[in-house]
């Protein structure tokens, strides 16, 4: 197993009040001006990562929920290839029949990571199961659509970098996801557009302790609140990264333990990490 997984969290400052008007003819797609503005912020962050030495480049880049409009998906793939990094980004709403879906795009570049591996270049999407209340009301106001739920739960196998669970915002409250992920992942990635950042901070430690894994939340910079948590024994080492403050466009790269976390997942010896929850077992998948 690898010692660390480097992850970059990109916060753009999407303003939902500007982005979506339920009575606009283009709804449920975001306002083009706002879409272009946050894409400019995102490009600045990705360029800052590109100029880093290869030894400092992230293995994964995370953008928040609603991170990019659909028209920028191809450009996101190009950035993934340039960086040699997996990019996980929330997308604008998509429509199928009378349903509106909230999805994210995962882009894996050729020979990840950083041209040292042997994997194929792939893209796939994962969706949101439960809408936030504001999100549900926004869609309902339009009168044409209802929220489309995605029932699948994904685990991304990164080989020696561990297995990763994927979730979008309100699905952090999905108890079934805790059960599925416990003993099967080393990292959880949650992308969000969440105003109640305090509740998510509390949930982060709960999830990390119950599922027994690293937890990364990439929230919108409009509200702040991105955080990275590891279930280490010493309390001062558990919060790897925590961002507070609204309307701030930021990018930050962090390092998460892989091998030293997997060791207590397999056989806990009382050192370096908090003890696993009662009944914990590590599964192959």
In 61-76, which positions are buried (b, 16+ CB within 10 angstroms) versus exposed (e)?
Answer: bbbbbbbbbeebeeeb
Q: Is the Cβ–Cβ distance between 63 and 12 less than 8 Å?
A: yes
Indicate the length of the chain as a whole number: 285
The reported pLDDT for the residue numbered 271 is 81
pLDDT tens-digit readout, 259-271: 999 999 999 887 8
Q: Which residues pair with 155 in a beta bridge?
A: 165
**Most distant pair of Cα atoms in the chain: their distance:** 60
3-state SS, residue 197 = helix
Q: What whole-number distance in Å separates Cα of residue 254 and Cα of residue 156?
A: 19
Q: Is the dihedral of CA 195, 200, 201, 202 positive or negative?
A: positive
Kind and range of the H or E run holding 251: strand 250-257
Per DSSP, which regions of 58-175 are E strands? 60-62, 86-90, 94-96, 99-101, 103-108, 122-127, 146-147, 155-157, 163-168
Q: What whole-number distance in Å separates Cα of residue 279 and Cα of residue 183?
A: 10
The reported pLDDT for the residue numbered 268 is 85
Low-confidence ranges of the chain (pLDDT < 70): none
């Amino acid at each position: 197993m690898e010692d660390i997984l480097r992850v970059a969290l990109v916060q753009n400052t999407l303003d939902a009040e500007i982005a979506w008007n339920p009575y606009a003819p283009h709804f449920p797609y975001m306002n083009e001006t706002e879409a272009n503005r946050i894409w400019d912020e995102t490009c600045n962050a990705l360029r800052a990562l590109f100029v880093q030495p290869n030894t400092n480049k992230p293995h994964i880049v995370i953008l928040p929920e609603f991170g990019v409009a659909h028209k920028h998906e191809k450009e996101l793939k190009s950035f993934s290839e340039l960086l040699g990094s997996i990019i996980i980004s929330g997308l604008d709403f998509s429509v199928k029949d009378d349903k509106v879906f909230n999805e994210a795009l995962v882009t894996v570049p050729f020979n990840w990571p950083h041209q040292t591996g042997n994997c194929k270049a792939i893209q796939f999407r994962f969706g949101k199961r439960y809408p936030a209340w504001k999100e549900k009301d926004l869609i309902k106001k339009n009168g044409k659509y209802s929220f489309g739920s995605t029932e699948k739960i994904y685990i991304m196998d990164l080989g020696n970098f561990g297995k990763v669970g994927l979730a979008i915002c309100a699905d952090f409250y999905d108890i079934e996801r805790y059960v599925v992920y416990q003993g099967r992942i080393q990292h959880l990635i949650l992308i969000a557009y969440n105003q109640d950042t305090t509740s998510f901070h509390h949930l982060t430690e709960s999830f990390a302790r119950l599922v027994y894994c690293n937890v990364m939340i990439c929230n919108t910079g409009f509200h702040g609140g991105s955080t990275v948590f590891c279930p280490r024994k010493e309390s001062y080492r558990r919060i790897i990264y925590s961002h507070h403050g609204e309307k701030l466009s930021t990018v930050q790269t962090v390092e998460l333990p892989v091998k030293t976390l997997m060791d207590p997942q397999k056989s806990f010896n009382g050192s370096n990490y908090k003890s696993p929850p009662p009944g914990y077992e590590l599964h192959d998948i």
